[in-house]
Amino acid sequence: MPLVTTKDVLRIAEEKNFALPAFNIPIPEFILWVLEEAESLRSPVIIQVAPVEYKALDIRMFYGTLQALSERFSIPFSLHLDHAHHEEEILLAIQNGFSSVMIDGSRLPFQENIRLTQRVLSLAHPVGVLVEGELGRVGGLEGDEAWEKEGNGEDFFTSPDEAKAFVKEAPVDLLAVAVGTRHGLYGDRIPKLQLELIQEIREKTHLPLVLHGGSGTPAEELQAAGKRGVRKINYSTALRVEYLNAFREILANQPEELMVSKMLPYLAQAVKKAVRECIVSSDAQHKA
């Protein structure tokens, strides 16, 4: 199946009542490894990249790479922009083949978040690009240490009433919500999702919901969220941890090895293990 739009893969998730795994790509090799494991599990997936990631690469490479790989894979997959904070980042993604974009105005006061999201909607919707907004505060590391801040209980959760008001003024296609997850590592803490809150937000907005910070959240929690209207779960930390652990192991055991091509199969195996766990946690296998 060729590269499809995020609208297409979301339709599958709605029809089969599960959450799509969305994988952040810090280096190009991750694209192939994610798609190979998704193909083996027959799982639709979303390939996504954030400005903090593509600034170290070239944003133009992603759409072309996925188009070329369409000839090799049969599962549906789409390309999404994650965690943009500025309209210029949105325009760049639209110009380079992204079929959906996220504008993260969660750092802003409520009305400013609405106004920013409205401006992005006016850029994206006329050309058929879906928009993901965010309301509430998902804690943890987003690649921006200046904004690193821990949530303080319910104060940071998404309010169902605010969510309803938000989407009335800024009619996004997906809504990222703060319901108990965080970006980055959890340490000794095991996240507990606010499942009733998820259901209430879904009922008040009628939108596909998005969880950021899926890595480390128990599979049963994520699957329960999928049954309540979460349609996209973001994964990044789990893959990067396995990649870096494998890389450190290679350097420790083979410090004089210079052939990167010999390292790649071991690195791929480590990342694919994490990808598989994320797909199974989302209950996305056998859905393509």
- In a domain, residue 288? The reply is no
Q: CA-CA distances (angstroms) from residue 14 to 43, 97, 131, 183, 230?
A: 14, 24, 17, 25, 9
- In a domain, residue 178? The reply is yes
Set 8, 58, 82, 283: catalytic member: 82
What does the pLDDT read at residue 192? 84
What is the span of the domain harbouring residue 253?
Answer: 6-282
What does the pLDDT read at residue 144? 46
User: Under DSSP, is residue 84 helix (H, G, I), strand (E, B) or coil?
Assistant: strand
**What's the gap between Cα 144 and its chain centre?**
17
CATH number at residue 60: 3.20.20.70
Looking up tokens 């999928």 gives: 226
- In a domain, residue 164? The reply is yes
Q: Any catalytic annotation for residue 82?
A: yes
- In a domain, residue 206? The reply is yes
Q: What is the DSSP letter of 105?
A: -
Which regions of the chain are under pLDDT 70?
A: 1, 138-155, 182-189
User: Token digits for 199?
Assistant: 């259901």
- pLDDT (tens digit per residue) in 12-23: 999 999 999 999
Percent of the chain beyond pLDDT 90?
Answer: 83
Q: Which residues contact 6 (CB under 8 A, 6 or more apart)?
A: 46, 78, 79, 80, 99, 100, 130
What does the pLDDT read at residue 156? 78
Number of domains in the chain: 1
What does the pLDDT read at residue 1? 61
- In a domain, residue 287? The reply is no
User: Token digits for 172?
Assistant: 């996004």
What does the pLDDT read at residue 257? 86
**Torsion region of 62: left, alpha or beta (phi above 0 gives left; psi -120 to 50 gives alpha):** alpha
**CA atoms of 214 and 184, how far apart (whole Å):** 9
The whole-model pTM stands at 0.92
- In a domain, residue 37? The reply is yes
Instruction: Report the chain's terminal Cα–Cα distance, integer Å.
Output: 10
